Amino acid sequence: MSSDQDDTPGTGAPGDVTHVATARLPTRHGEFTAHIYRNRTDQTEHMVLVRGEVRGQEGVLVRLHSECLTGDVFGSLRCDCGEQLDRALAMMTEEGRGVLVYLRGHEGRGIGLSAKLRAYALQDRGYDTVQANEALGLAVDARSYDAGVTILRDLGVESLRLISNNPLKFAELESLGLRIDARIPLRIAPNPENREYLRTKQQRLGHSLALDDPEQA
């Protein structure tokens, strides 16, 4: 981690980020403080929304949200990303404290936007989300959370409750030294366009979902 406005070339590590900007950000969920952290090697900029006082606090609500242009911006029904983002911010506002780290470069679980659309085209031909990535010769999940960990430490967050359905994310963050007191699932009701996608994430990627719960039908 480097100080504000330090653009000295970095080490090339995903977690080599520097804080470059901050501002007040009023949203429909209330007011947050927005921060931008920039990777010093590839210039990727990650956005962070902070609600309330988090430095040195116990059990801070945290969401490490992977960039999803199609879901977060355009409201795609092929995933539940936009709804997860909205729900996480609402939870932080209700609690009065929390951190959402919006990780850029994570589009399509790290394969990029154009590859993600090619994978969608294969899914329309009957491939599931795992098979589609493999058919394209791409990783099933190419994401790194190093930058997120560096950012949380810079914000003084060492004890957290992780908002996530992904056990691999939980395990990786713990392996990087974060203290996770609890994992809080996000229960988003499936729709006809994403039910099979979510079922694949549940069955093949181990995500904690409740697709067979009548309340989620």
Two structure tokens written together for 7: 């653009």
- For the entire predicted model, the pTM comes to 0.89
Q: Which of 86, 141, 183, 195 is catalytic?
A: 141
Residue 91 contacts by C-beta under 8 Å, 6 or more apart in sequence? 61, 98, 163, 184
Q: Which of 90-94, 162-166, 172-176 has the highest mean pLDDT?
A: 90-94
In which band, very low, low, confident or very high, does the pLDDT at 14 lie, cut at 50, 70 and 90? low
Cα gap 9→55, rounded to integer Å: 28
Residue 187: CA count within 13 A, CB half-sphere? 8
Question: Which has the higher per-residue pLDDT, 60 or 4?
Answer: 60
The domains located in the chain, with CATH, are 17-106+143-216 (3.40.50.10990)
Helix (H, G, I), strand (E, B) or coil at 23: strand
The pLDDT assigned to 213 comes to 53
- Spatial separation of the C-alpha atoms in residues 162 and 141, rounded to whole Å: 19
pLDDT at 172: 87
Q: Verify whether residue 183 is a known catalytic residue.
A: no
- Which pair of structure tokens corresponds to residue 86? 């909205």
Cα→Cα distances 20→44, 45, 47, Å: 12, 9, 10
Alpha-carbon torsion 22, 178, 51, 30, what sign?
positive
Higher pLDDT, 8 or 76: 76
| pLDDT of 3 strictly over 80 | no
What does the pLDDT average to over 152-175? 92
Nearest by Cα to 8 from 42, 46, 40: 40
Q: What would the DSSP string read from start to end of 172-186?
A: HHHHTT-EEEEEE--
**Of the residues 109, 118, 143, 161, which is catalytic?**
143
Q: Where are the beta strands (DSSP E) in 52-158?
A: 60-66, 98-103
**Catalytic status, residue 143:** yes
Mean pLDDT of 37-45: 93
Instruction: Name the pLDDT band for 212 (thresholds 50, 70, 90).
Output: low
Find the range with the poorest average confidence among 68-82, 91-105, 149-163, 194-208: 194-208
